[in-house]
Amino acid sequence: MSLTTFLQHCLTGISLGGAYALIAIGYTLVYGILRLINFAHGDIFMMAGYFMIFAMSSFPWFIAVPVVLLATVLLGIVIEKVAYRPLRTAPRMSAMISAIGVSYLLQNLATYLFTALPKGYPEIPFLKKIFRIGGLSASLVTFLTPVLTLIIVYVLMVLINKTKIGMAMRAVSRDYDTAALMGIKINHVITFTFAVGSLLAAVGSLLYFTDRMTVFPFSGSLPGLKCFVAAVFGGIGSIPGAVIGGFILGLGETALVAMGYSTFSDAFTFVLLIIILLIKPTGLFGEKITDKV
C-alpha cells in the first residue's frame, strides 16, 4: 500500500472516529447517570439528519443549523420525558425494552414520513470544498470533523469539571440516591444530560451526513450500536474514554476495510466489545464499581 493510500485511509479513519466519538459521548453521559443504554440515541442522530434536510430547504444554512440543533435537543428531551421517566423505578429490563421501542418507533416513523428511499443531504457550500494535498483528496468536512470533535470535547470537560451543573451531573452519576437527598434536582440534571447528548448527536450528524451525503431511516441504528461499543470500550461514564473509543473504532474499521476484510468490519466492533468486557469490563478509563450485596 503506498504512503498516499495509507494516509488517505488514516484520514478517513480519523474523520469517522471523530463522528463516532461525538455520538459515543451521548451514550456515555446517559449511561453514567441513568445506567440506561439509550438505544434511541442512534436514531435521534438519524432524525437530526432529516431535520437538516427540511430546514435547509426553507432556510439558509446559518439559520438552519441552529434550528436543527434546537429541534434535536427538543426531541431528546421529549423522549426522556415520555419514555424513560415513567420507567425510572421499573426493573432495568423494562427501561431497556422501552429504549428499544423508541428506537423502533423512530425508525418506522422516519420510514413512514420520508419513505425508505435515501434522501439527499443538502450541502453547506464551503464544507464540501475539495482539498487536494499531494495525493490526498478530501472535502473540508473530513478534515474538520476530528478538529471540531476535540474542541467540543474540551468545552464539555470544562463544563463538567468547572460548572455547578457539571458537578451536579458528576454527583448524580456517582451516587443517585445521595445526590437526590442532598437537594440536587435530579429531573433537571437528567434533562440537561439528555439535552447535551442530543446536541452532540446533532453536531455529529451534521458532520457525518455532510460527508456521507444521503440519509435513510436506518442510517442511525448500526452506527448507534457501534458508538455504544466505543463508549463501553473507553469506559462507560468517562468522556475522554468515549472519545478515545470512538477514534479507535473508526480507525480499526477503516483499517479492516482497507485490508480487504470488509465483511468483518461490523463484526470487528463486537469482537472488540467482547474482548474489552472479558479483559477489563470497566473499559479503558472506567472506574471499578463494587457490588453491594
Partner 1 sequence: MKIKNLMALTMTACMGVSLLAGCSTTTGGGTAAGSDTASEAPAASGGKVIKIGVFEPMTGENGGGGMQEAYGARYANQVHPTVTIDGEEYRIELVEVDNKSDKTEAVNAAQKLVSENVSVVIGSYGSGVSIAAGQIFEDARIPAIGASCTNPQVTQGNDYYFRVCFLDPFQGTIMANYAMDNGAQTAAVITQLGDDYSSGLGSFFKSAFAELGGTIVSEEQFQTNQTDFKAILSNIKAQNPDIIFAPSSITTAPLIIKQARELGITATIAAGDTWENSTVIENAGDSAEGVVLSTFFDEAEPANNEASSFITGFKAYLKDNGQEEIIPAVSALGYDAYLCAVKAIEDAGSTDGTAICEALKNVSLDGVTGSISFDDNGDANKDMAFIKTIENGQFKFLTTTTIK
Partner 2 sequence: MKKISSYKNKILTLLALLIFIGIIHFLEINKSQYSYQISILERSAIYAVVAVSMNLLTGFTGLFSLGQAGFMAIGAYVTAILTIPVDKRASVYYVNGISPAIADSNCPFWLALIIAGLAAAATAALIGIPVLRLKSDYLAIATLGFSEIIRAVIAAPQLDTITNGSYGLKSIPGFPNLYVTFGLCALCIFLMILLIHSSYGRAFKALREDETAAQAMGLNLFRYKELSFVISSFFTGVGGGLLAMFMRSIDSKTFSISLTYDILLIVVLGGIGSVTGSVLGSFLVTAGREWLRFFDNPLSIGGVEIPLFRSGFRMVIFSILLMAVVLFYRRGIMGSNEFTWDGLGRLIVSIPRRLADSIRRVTGKKRKEHRHNDNE
Interface with partner 2 by CB under 8 A: which residues?
35, 37, 82-83, 86-87, 90, 92-94, 96-98, 100-102, 104-105, 108-109, 111-113, 115-116, 221, 225, 228-229, 232, 263-264, 266-267, 269-271, 273-274, 277-278, 281, 293
Which of residues 5 and 163 has its CB atom nearest to partner 1 in the complex?
Answer: 5
In the list partner 1, partner 2, none, the entry touching 281 (Cβ below 5 to 8 angstroms by class) is partner 2
Which of residues 103 and 145 has its CB atom nearest to partner 2 in the complex?
Answer: 103
Q: What is the chain's percent helix, strand, coil content, to nearest 5?
A: 75, 5, 20
Query: Helix, strand or coil for residue 133?
Result: strand
Which of residues 152 and 225 has its CB atom nearest to partner 2 in the complex?
Answer: 225
Instruction: State the sign of the Cα–Cα–Cα–Cα dihedral 148, 149, 153, 159.
Output: positive
x/- track of binding to partner 1 for residues 220-239 (CB under 8 A): -xx-----------------
Residue choice 70, 218, 240, 282 for contact with partner 1 (CB under 8 A): 218
102-122 burial: b if 16+ Cβ within 10 Å, else e: bbeebbeebeeebeeeebebb
Rounded CA gap, 160 and 180, in Å?
Answer: 18
Q: How far is the CB of 203 from partner 2 (least distance, A)?
A: 25
Rounded CA gap, 138 and 157, in Å?
Answer: 30
Q: How far is the CB of 27 from partner 2 (least distance, A)?
A: 11
Q: Is 258 in the site for partner 1 (CB under 8 A)?
A: yes
Rounded CA gap, 106 and 219, in Å?
Answer: 12
What is the DSSP-derived secondary structure letter of residue 119? E
Q: How far is the CB of 50 from partner 1 (least distance, A)?
A: 14
Half-sphere exposure of 62 (CA within 13 A, CB side): 1
What is the DSSP-derived secondary structure letter of residue 39? T
Query: Helix, strand or coil for residue 235?
Result: coil
In the list partner 2, partner 1, none, the entry touching 2 (Cβ below 5 to 8 angstroms by class) is partner 1
Q: How far is the CB of 165 from partner 2 (least distance, A)?
A: 26
Query: Helix, strand or coil for residue 250?
Result: helix
CB 284 within 8 A of CB 24: no
Which of residues 69 and 272 has its CB atom nearest to partner 2 in the complex?
Answer: 272
Burial of 177: CB neighbours in 10 Å, binned 0-12, 13-18, 19+: exposed
The interface with partner 1 within residues 107-166 (CB under 8 A) comprises 111, 115-120, 130, 132, 137-139
Stretch that binds partner 1, among 10-18, 92-100, 171-179, 198-206 (CB under 8 A): 10-18
Site of interaction with partner 1 (CB under 8 A):
1-2, 4-5, 8-9, 12-13, 16, 111, 115-120, 130, 132, 137-139, 211-214, 216, 218-219, 221-222, 253-254, 257-258, 260, 262-263, 265-266
